[in-house]
Every structure is written in C-alpha cells, then in structure tokens.
Structure 1
C-alpha cells in the first residue's frame, strides 16, 4: 500500500507538501497540487482518514447507539441518520446494544476515546451520571437526562391521544397496548400514559403489557399475541409498535376475528412494516426523517461549541388511516 512518502517521491515534492494538500492547511500552487493528485491516483493512494482527523482534531465520525437494529424504527432512523450525516461530511458508526446494560457501558467507554466527534444516544440503560459526565457532544433521543443535555423526541402525548380517539371511534371496548419496560424519563411512554388516560375517561378497559426490546422477534410476538387473545377473547383493540401490531393482526385472523369489525389495531411508528401486509395498518406515524435531521442539527450546534436554543425538541406525529380501524 502506498504511503504519503511514496506520493511525495513520485510528485517530486516534500512529504509536508502532500500533507498540506490532504489537510487543506496551507496554500499549495495549483500546478503542484495537480501533480500530487495525479501521483495519488497513479499509486492508488488512500488517505488515512483517522490520522487526518486527529491532525484536524476531528474524526469525521458520529456514533449512534440503538437498543436493537432489528427494530424497524431504529433501522429506519439509522438509515436516515447515515444519509444526513454523509451530506455534511460525517460517517455514521452504528452501535446496537441489544438493550444490554453491560454492552452499552462498553460502547460508552470506547466512545470516550478520540474515535468519534459526537454521539446520538438512542439507549438509556445506564445511570444518568454516565451521560452527564460524557465529555463529547451528546444528543439524546426520547430520554430526558437533565436540562443541559438536549433531547429530540416526537410529541408522544399527542400520539397517544390520536391512537385512543381512533380506537374509541372504532367502537372498541377492551384495548391492550404493548410497550417497552417503563422508565420515568423515557419520553415515548407519554404515548402509553395518554392512551390509557383517554380510554379510561371514556370507560374503556385498558391493559398494558411491557416487554424488553430484545425479548421477541416476530415469531415471539405472534406467540404472545395468540396467548393473550385466546385467554382474553374480549379484547377488540390494540396499540403497539409496528412489528408486534402485525403479529396481533395475524393472530386475530387465525383466531377467526374479522379486521376491523371484530378487532381493531393502531400501530405506532409508521415504518415500512405497516404497508407490508395484505391490508394497510392504521398508524401513528413518527416523522423519522425529521427526527434524524433535528438530532443532527442540534449535534452540529454542539460541535461548533455553541449552546442549542432549546433543551427539548419535539416533533409532531400524525395519524395515517388504514384498514385496521373503522
């Protein structure tokens, strides 16, 4: 593999001149620059991005931690993050913790080194002090650590109200909703709190089932759905993230229920999953692309050494009517 010295020798210039061209740190005559670029091309020279980043005190890498990359929301969000970061000259380092505290701690320890310029945090298993003591630009997703670390989230309270009103309008009398394990500062739980509040105000029975991110794949959700619907045949409505929602719909059909006459469903997230079935699922859609854009914009502010205008950035969700509600 060619080195910077090989390039300098072929272009008949000093190695420091090649370095100036690579790093853009000083003026180099156009004809000299052209010679160096031609030498790099002929030698198939690939610059050491990490070394260049250290020279500039910028790695050009942003890390994103997620609980499970198989989850449709996080895979979709990571895709948008990668594209948006690439447009502003950064690469994405994606870290999937499998919702495991020890794995998250290991990633955090690694990221405290000079490997990355900043972090977008989509997990929250550690003690808040770990995030508060993190010395790099940090943006949280859906988790309010304190008033200093910025957080980007959807308006989950609105999402819960939209889902509840749709299930009420569909005539549901007994509703189940599936969510992650409850944590006080996780903003996405506002959706489930508002769903319960509105349904109970209207005299509708409501049951919550909590699961870990890494407890189930689709088959696991399907088996859970079959068990719940078999044991509680009165359930005629449900809300959950996209994947478990599709599992409940499949289980309901297998048990002879008609959709939406006997069983209604509203999914939450609105990823590609909601349009992969024979019928489209009514969904509360999170603005995933806008979440990515907002998180990166806030991170850019931090990278520039500035303070974001707000501590909490909240984006509006919307209800997209499908065939699983009346």
Structure 2
C-alpha cells in the first residue's frame, strides 16, 4: 500500500512537505507542490481522508435527526439537506428516532467526541434546553426551539396560517376542522399553559414553532365568525391514526365543509370524502400543509401551502457552516424566547408579534390552488 513516505521518496521532498500538501496546511512553494502532486498521481496515492480530517479537527460529517423518514415531509427535507451539504463537501448521517433504537443522545455523544462536525435537530426532544445549550458544539434546530442561543431555521408558519385562512374565508367555508398532532405539543415546555381560541396571553414556551399556523388560522377564522375545531390525530409517525381520525371527523361533525391537515392527513381526508360519495372541493374543501409529492397523489390534486425545502436546506447548511467555521458563536444567535404581550389580537394582525419558540430565520411559504378547494 502506497503511503506518504513513498510519495516523499518519489518526489524527492521531505515527509513533512508531503503532509502539508495533502492536508492543505502551511506554506509550500508551487514547485514543491507540483512535484508532490505529480508523485501522488504516478503512484496512484489516495490520501487517508480520516487522517486528513483529524489534522483539521474536522470529520465533514453532519448528523441529521428527524422523527421518521417514512413521513413525506421529513423524507423531502432530508433529501434537500443531503444535496445542500454535499454541495458544500459535507456528508450526512441520518438518525430517524421513531425508526431506530438510537436517539439524539447517541448523536450528541458523537458530536462531543468530535466524531461529527455538527447536528441538525429536526425531531421532538424531551431534553431540557440546558442539555442543548451545554453541548458547546454546532447545533442547528429545524422547526423547533431548543433553548436560548441555539439557532433555529423554519418556515414562516404564521404566514402559512394566513394563507390557509384567506383561502377558506374567500371560498365561503362555514365549519373548518384542523387535524394535527397532540394539542399538548402547543405548550410542551409549560404544562400549565392554556390556548383559548387563539389567545396567546397564557401561551407557554413551546419547542414547536409550527403551532403558529394553527393558532394564526384559529385567530383568523374566529375574527371572520367561522366555526372551527381542532382534532388530534396522534404522533407524526402514526399514519393509520390519520385515516381513523378522518373517519371520526365526518362521524362527529355533520356540518364540516373544510378540513386542514398535513399532506398525509389531507390525502386521507380526500379518500374518506370519496368513500362517502361526496365531492372534494365542492362538498368539502381540503387544504394540505407542506406541499410534498403526496399532495399530488391523493386522487385529486390538493390545494397546498408549500414549504420551500430547497431554501430551508440552504439556510440550515449556511448557518451550520458558519458555526463550524467559527464565523458565528452561540452567543451571537437570536434568543428564541421573546415575551408575548396581550392576546392574539396583539400578536397576529400585522405579523410583527412573535410566539415563544419562533424560528430565528423564517422562510416564506407559497399557496398552490388546486382541485380540492373552490
């Protein structure tokens, strides 16, 4: 096996000179560099990437933690992140917490032992904020709040809620049912918090910035005098739960004329509507939230609020790169726990209000109108 000593002998230079060329550290004259590179090519020498990374105190590996890759949102996000990191010379190591015995603690341990350069945290965590802020290594939160000083990237879910509200209000909806995850996640860092018809006065800190779209939608519907209900469908990986819940929605509410849910829930809703001999879009309007490939495979093309996965991935990668390169420290990141003053009327009308746990960098969403709404 060819090693650096062989390259040094072939090029007629010292071993240290070969090391400098291979690792890209220190000054080497153009003449010396050419000799070393010619010798490497002649000998078919392949640098030991692990050794080179250790010399730079880098692994070029980013851990990406998601709840499950079975969910179309996280599958699409993971693909976008992998493309973006790859373009920056970084590889990704995926941890799907619902599909594996390993959890975020294993990845944090790897990060602290310098086996990874950083972690993108896109799954729910039961660890307190102090756990994440004490790591002292690059961590970027995606669509969650991990604690003061931990940078967070996410979609502008308040804008998303407004897009859904305007679509349904303009289309003359009378009773809207929102189907999502456990309502307890709306105040998972403060068990005493209460959300009353979109009123944020008693809202506790949450790790889920996505609640902004539900609360904004509730507030807008309330202002327009439109009836609404929120129905829980189980955890993010519980796909059967969405099917069962959509059946229950139509058994429970005989006047429902609009349903809002994730792409999975919206697709299941269309199937339930068709089973009942109703017409999607005409009898019951359906709005999907995410805009993944699943929104095109429901039987009818779904009206969807679409998240910009490429822009989200680029923002995450850019922030991670800045942390790794030392261009940004945890002390320079935005505190994601601003106070909330008054109720929903103060927080939502002009878009300037912020919920606790809102992302530091927000990416706009777009609305795609299709067959499932009027």
Output the CA distance in 2 between the equivalents of 1:153 and 1:99. Answer: 23
1:246 positional shift? 0.6
1:267 positional shift? 0.7
User: Which runs of 5 or more structure 2 residues have no equivalent in the other structure?
Assistant: 189-205, 335-359
Give the secondary-structure state (helix, strand or coil) at the position aligned to 1:297.
Answer: helix
Q: Which residue matches 2:149?
A: 148
1:32 positional shift? 2.0
Per-residue deviation, residues 53-90 of structure 1 (Å, max 9, x unmatched): 11111111122111111221221111121111122221
Contact 2:150 2:333 in 1 (8 A): no
Cα 1:37/1:132, change in 2 over 3 Å? same
Matched, 1:280 2:301: yes
Matched, 1:173 2:174: yes
Contact 1:18 1:36 in 2 (8 A): no
1:95 positional shift? 1.5
Aligned pairs for 1:73-84 within 5 A: 73-84=73-84
TM-score scaled to structure 2, two decimals?
0.78
1:289 positional shift? 0.9
Q: Which residue matches 1:69?
A: 69
1:102 positional shift? 7.0
Give the secondary-structure state (helix, strand or coil) at the position aligned to 1:107.
Answer: helix
Output the CA distance in 1 between the equivalents of 2:110 and 2:5. Answer: 32
State which drifts further: 277-286 or 308-317: 308-317
Q: Which residue matches 1:128?
A: 129
1:36 positional shift? 2.7
Contact 1:282 1:321 in 2 (8 A): yes
Output the CA distance in 1 between the equivalents of 2:6 and 2:79. Answer: 38
Per-residue deviation, residues 83-132 of structure 1 (Å, max 9, x unmatched): 11122221122221118997222332232211111222112312211111
Q: Which residue matches 2:361?
A: 313
Aligned pairs for 1:26-45 within 5 A: 26-27=27-28, 29-41=32-44, 45=45
Output the CA distance in 2 between the equivalents of 1:227 and 1:298. Answer: 43
Contact 2:233 2:242 in 1 (8 A): no
Output the CA distance in 2 between the equivalents of 1:204 and 1:223. Answer: 23
Contact 2:7 2:36 in 1 (8 A): no
Per-residue deviation, residues 272-323 of structure 1 (Å, max 9, x unmatched): 2212344221111111111111112122222232337762111211211111
Give the secondary-structure state (helix, strand or coil) at the position aligned to 1:143.
Answer: coil
1:147 positional shift? 3.7
Matched, 1:323 2:371: yes
Q: Which residue matches 2:242?
A: 221
Output the CA distance in 1 between the equivalents of 2:277 and 2:46. Answer: 61
Output the CA distance in 2 between the equivalents of 1:321 and 1:266. Answer: 9
Q: Which residue matches 1:269?
A: 290
Output the CA distance in 2 between the equivalents of 1:40 and 1:246. Answer: 58
Cα 1:163/1:133, change in 2 over 3 Å? same
Work out the number of aligned pairs and report it: 321
Aligned-residue CA RMSD in angstroms? 2.5
Cα 1:35/1:306, change in 2 over 3 Å? closer
Matched, 1:20 2:68: no
Output the CA distance in 2 between the equivalents of 1:179 and 1:105. Answer: 27
Contact 1:200 1:206 in 2 (8 A): no
Matched, 1:247 2:295: no
Q: Which residue matches 1:192?
A: 214
Q: Which residue matches 2:199?
A: none
Output the CA distance in 1 between the equivalents of 2:179 and 2:142. Answer: 20
User: Which runs of 5 or more structure 1 residues have no equivalent in the other structure?
Assistant: none
